[in-house]
Amino acid sequence: MPLVDFKHVLTYARERKLGVAAFNPVDYNSTQAIIDIADELDAPVICQTSAKTVRYYGAASIYSWMQQLCKKTSVPVSLHLDHGKDLDMIESCIKSGWTNVMIDASDLPFEQNLARSKQVYEMAAAHNVSIEAEIGEIHGVEEDIVVESGGSVVDPDKAEIFCKEMDLGVFAPAIGTAHGIYHGEPKIAWDVLEQLSERINTPFALHGGTGLEDDVIQRCISLGCSKVNISTQLKHAFISGFYEHHRENPDDYEPLSHLKAQDQAMREVVRYKMEQFGAAGHGQAILKAMNTQ
Ligand SMILES: [Zn+2]
């Protein structure tokens, strides 16, 4: 089935307090693992590409995998650009068939961030593509973006203005989570997330989902974080699945047996997260809801 704009999916999820998993595939096999498990679990899913991945393969190649893999599926699959900063790349993804893009102008002062995000919002809306935008800075390293610890937590007043100015597909507020692996206990600003949840209906994106305990993620989902990003954990499965196979079978130089082990490691992570986040079993219902709108 064709790719689906995540706006409909996340609105459905927010209303029912479900979390939709968003994974960052890095090649054809990881994309296939994500989509296969989504189909098996009747779960909506977001495949989000980092800017680095888009630069590595080119937008056209990635889009062609997605199209091919989605021919067999019967669940809503979205193709999203994660942490888009370069307007040319954002435009290229929109024109190549991405259903969603993120504009990350969170390093700019609020007014400039709003202006840049609105510019992308309008560009995307002309192609029926909805967007994700962020305010406050999320700690850690994502791509080549480094935010030292001490990155800011979102101001709920500003967040409300931001979400009123644009009909975002999803809003990414910095609430104290971090990209990558946590060093020490993550300090989620629960009071801020609770305020956002009461004041804003737009679904929220939870960045830095790797390393958060299941109950922390569940609480975030119940407070409106309908999109849960898992990037680092899939990368770890990708590398260690391959590496561990070779460590255990040092004489094996058959690439396909390594790829199989890597694939299994990734599928395990994808399945676990989808089952945890609660949207598994809702794929068909979402499509039905979209068709009756
Ligand atoms: Zn992120």
pLDDT in tens, 228-278: 999 999 999 999 999 999 999 999 999 999 999 999 999 999 999 999 999
2: confidence class by pLDDT, cuts 50, 70, 90: confident
Q: What is the mean pLDDT of residues 208-221?
A: 92
Considering the domain boundaries, does residue 1 fall inside one? Answer: no
Q: Does 82 qualify as catalytic in the annotation?
A: yes
Report if residue 39 sits inside a domain.
Answer: yes
253 inside domain? yes
Does 92 map to a domain?
A: yes
The residue type at 17: K
Residues 6+ apart with CB under 8 A from 81: 48, 49, 51, 54, 89, 90, 93, 98, 100, 101, 102
Q: What does the pLDDT read at residue 141?
A: 59
pLDDT of residue 209: 85
Residue 148 confidence (pLDDT): 53
Find which of 18-27, 147-156, 180-189 is predicted with most confidence, using mean pLDDT.
18-27
Distance, CA 287 to ligand 1 centroid (Å)? 27
Residue 89 forms part of a structural domain: yes
Kindly tell me the burial class for residue 28, based on how many C-beta atoms sit within 10 Å of its own C-beta (0-12, 13-18, 19 or more).
middle
Q: What is the pLDDT of residues 116-143, one digit of tens each?
A: 999 999 999 999 999 999 998 776 656 5
Residue 243 CA, ligand 1 centroid: distance in Å: 26
The answer to whether position 26 is within a domain reads: yes
Interval 2-24 mean pLDDT: 97
How far apart are the C-alpha atoms of 54 and 69, rounded to whole Å? 18
Whether the CB-CB separation of 111 and 51 falls below 8 Å is answered with no
Domain range for 239: 6-291
Q: Is residue 30 within 8 Å of 264, Cβ to Cβ?
A: no
The tally of domains found in the chain comes to 1
User: Which pLDDT tens digit goes with each residue over 159-203?
Assistant: 999 999 999 999 999 998 888 777 667 889 999 999 999 999 999
Distance 228 CA to ligand 1 centre (A): 10
Determine, yes or no, domain membership for 186.
Answer: yes
Query: Which residue, among 113, 130, 276, 150, has the nearest Cα to 209 in the 3D structure?
Result: 276
Looking up residue 248, the CATH number of its domain turns out to be 3.20.20.70
Q: Would you say 226 and 20 are in contact if contact means Cβ atoms under 8 Å apart?
A: yes
Residue 144 has pLDDT above 70, yes or no: no
Residues of the chain by 3-state class (helix, strand, coil), percent to 5:
50, 15, 30
What average pLDDT is seen over the chain? 94
Measured in Å, residue 256 CA sits from the centre of ligand 1 at: 32
Exactly one of 5, 39, 42, 82 is catalytic; name it: 82
Residue 11 lies in a domain: yes
Can you give the pTM of this predicted structure?
0.95
- pLDDT score, position 164: 97
Structure tokens at 218: 């569940």
